[in-house]
Every structure is written in C-alpha cells, then in structure tokens.
Amino acid sequence: MSSLRELFEKREEDWLSPYAVKSKSTLGRIVQEKPCDVRTAFQRDRDRVIHSKAFRRLKHKTQVFISPEGDHFRTRLTHTLEVSQIARTAARALRLNEDLAEAISLSHDLGHTPFGHAGETALNQVHPGGFKHNIQSLRVVDKLELGTGLNLTWEVRDGIVNHTGDVTPSSLEGQIVKIADRIAYINHDIDDAIRGRVMSLESLPKECLKVLGFKHSERINKMVRDMIDASWDKPYITMSKEVSAAMDELRQFLFRNVYIGSLAKTEEKKAMRLVQEIYHYYCNHPQEISNEYKAHNDAETNEDILVIDYIAGMTDRYAIAIYQKLFVPSGFSII
C-alpha cells in the first residue's frame, strides 16, 4: 500500500505543469533524511519553518514603520503571510508547486534584523563583511535554528537566498515569491502610509492607478492576474511591460515619499544608532552574548559573526531592552 506522501507525489506528477518542481524530484537536503510517510518534502519544509522560533519572532519585527501607534500596521510576520498568500495563489493558477512557493515565502525574511531595513543598513555599515538579510535568512535555516539548522531542501534554500538581488531563483516557484514579495510590500506599504497619514490616496501617481487600480484589492488583483497571464505556459515568471512599469514607478514614488525622509521614518536614525552601538558593545564584550547563540556556533566562528547572529535575531523590543540595559542608567536604591 502506498503512503500518503507517495499519493501526493503521484498527484503532483499527474497534475502539475512540466515547469513545476515535483517534490519527488527535489535535489535533496544537506543531510539526507528518511522521507515522511504523510508529507512531501516541501510540506515538511513549510512545517519546520512555521514551528521555528525565528518565524515567531517576526511578529515583533518592523516592516516599515518603527513602533507605530495602532494595531493594524504591518509587521514582518504579516508581510510574510501576505507574500505567502500571493505566491500560493499564483503558483496554484500556473499549476506550479504551491507547497514549495509557500515554504519559500514563509522563510524568506527569517534573517531580517530588528527595525526592518534600517537595522539591515545599520549592520551593513559597520560589519566588515557587510550584511544582507537574504543571506542571513539562509544562515538561520542552515545553522542557527535549533543549533543545527532546519535541513531544508535545496529548492527552498535557493528561493530564500535569491528572493532579492540580481540573481534569479532557479525554480519558477522561487521566481513567483520574488515578485510576490514586491507586490505585497508595494501595496501594504501604501495602505500603512495612508493609515499613518504620511500621504493620501490622492497623492499617488494617477497614471499608475489607472493601470493598477484605485483600491488596495484592485491593485493586488491586477498585479497577481497579470503575473499569471504573462507567465502562462512559459518556463519563467514575468509580468507585462505595462504593469511592470507601473509597479516600478509606484515603488519609486514610495522611496521618495515614504521610505526616505518621511515623518513616519524619523525614528530610523535612532534605530540605526541603537543597533550599531549594540554591535560595537558586543564586539568588545563577546563573552556577554546569550549562551544560546554561542551554542549554535562552533569554535571556528568569528566573534563578529556571532555578534551579527545575535543582533539579527533580536526583535525590536528586545533590542530596545538590551540597549537600555547596556547604556541607560537604571534607578539607584539603598533599600
């Protein structure tokens, strides 16, 4: 009798596009494991990510706005979930491997710093080897989580490290996540910026809205449908020139009016200074780093890498608490 996993693998072979990555055809894991009787390899990866501590910490990490007053602003976790939803929809429509797209989506930002891209920039400026969150995300799943890593499949790891930057992911599922990431943050950052009164809907470029839609749901639907239509029966994922150009223009608008110099970003310099001062402190006092992070690294790991691992794993509020502990005088009592 076939296992449930084998039945799922057979269904993939029968249904998925010739361009899809089939679970049975994965290039494998760093350490070979006995297959699960119930779940495919990519379903197993997804579950490992969801149950990881790094995934849970995303709920207290900044997406764009640092410490916003309000319960409805996005965090790094809600961003991740929105990317996953978009990627799954597109993968299903194109008959690609939805489980692979989901696993990449849920893990793509696991290595992100506290305070979003402000924290990333801060570490990149002071760390001799530089810092990129996608590379750190791969390090989280390969080594840091559980002390041994999650031992994910090659396809998920490829999608994680190449979800941003100039390199194209090897799988179409990874390519979907790369575009889904941009679709998600362009749209939810507009929504958050309007909610935070950083800008108004009327200030958005009208020509972009004519192409993409005047409502949040219309824009997401237009972008996702365009990706599906433009990529149909092709060995790569793409978008139409018209929609891609409108997205790029809208993204540039956000950089000019939201990401750089807006009222909502005034706390970023403080956040960057906080991260950098913590970095310098622990470079000089590596013995004070959490024993958990020391246990996750071998004796050959450079101390500055250990510091990077420790800080990148912090949530916003934990980083603030550490800064206060290290640099802010506490009350003195003789009682």
What's the CA gap between 56 and 39, in Å, rounded?
22
What's the CA gap between 51 and 191, in Å, rounded?
29
Residue type, 205: P
Yes or no: say if 76 and 192 are a contact pair by the CB < 8 Å rule. Answer: no
- At 212 the pLDDT is 97
Alpha-carbon torsion angle 276, 71, 189, 79, nearest 10: 80
- At 263 the pLDDT is 65
Alpha-carbon torsion angle 149, 38, 82, 217, nearest 10: 170
The neighbour count for residue 191, using CB atoms within 10 Å, is 16
Reading the block at residue 203, the tokens are 């200030």
- At 1 the pLDDT is 59
Maximum alpha-carbon separation in the chain = 75
Yes or no: say if 65 and 73 are a contact pair by the CB < 8 Å rule. Answer: yes
User: In whole angstroms, how large is the CA radius of gyration of the chain?
Assistant: 21
Residue type, 233: D
Global pTM reads: 0.94
- At 61 the pLDDT is 94
Find where tokens 């057979």 sit: 10
List, in order of start, the domains of the chain with CATH numbers: 40-327 (1.10.3210.10)
pLDDT in tens, the chain (335 residues): 589 999 999 999 999 999 999 999 999 999 999 999 999 999 999 999 999 999 999 999 988 777 666 677 889 999 999 999 999 999 999 999 999 999 999 999 999 999 999 999 999 999 999 999 999 999 999 999 998 999 999 999 999 999 999 999 999 999 999 999 999 999 999 998 888 888 888 999 999 999 999 999 999 999 999 999 999 999 999 999 999 999 999 999 998 888 776 666 677 889 999 999 999 999 999 999 987 776 666 655 688 899 999 999 999 999 999 999 999 987 655 65
Yes or no: say if 123 and 309 are a contact pair by the CB < 8 Å rule. Answer: no
Yes or no: say if 153 and 45 are a contact pair by the CB < 8 Å rule. Answer: yes
Residue partners of 238: CB distance under 8 A and separation at least 6: 227, 230, 231
- At 296 the pLDDT is 63
CB-hemisphere CA count at 13 Å for 171?
32
